[in-house]
Amino acid sequence: MMPKFLFILLMIIAGLVVLSSIGPLLSLAIGLVIVYFSFKEFLKTNAVFSKVIWLIFGLIGIKICFSSFPAAFGIIALIFLYFAYKAWKDKESSASHE
């Protein structure tokens, strides 16, 4: 009874961490998209001025990614929730087969 309660409590806390990290997660996603497209365009272009502009955009994207550091806590909590849910389902399926 007590381990099940603690497990549910940990899952609720991890869910709240994920919900509170939605803003930084969106910021991280936007930063990664900027870095990805600026890198692709940097490799595509031949002009030096264009390469400098795409490099600046890429550095701005990297800065956005670094500034959204709290998203790392949300990602870790999301991974914990995934594995906890997977373990919970495996435990229920093995209990129902017995």
pLDDT tens-digit series, residues 49-90: 999 999 999 999 999 999 988 888 888 888 988 888 888 787
Please say whether the beta carbons of 25 and 75 come within 8 A. Answer: yes
Domain membership of residue 98 (yes or no) is no
- Asked if 35 contacts 65 with a C-beta cutoff of 8 angstroms, the reply is yes
Average pLDDT value for residue range 10-21: 86
**How many domains, in total, are found in the chain?**
1
Instruction: Give the whole-angstrom CA distance, residue 31 versus residue 52.
Output: 18
- What is the value of pTM for the model shown? 0.73
Domain of 30, in residue numbers: 13-92
Mean pLDDT for the chain? Answer: 87
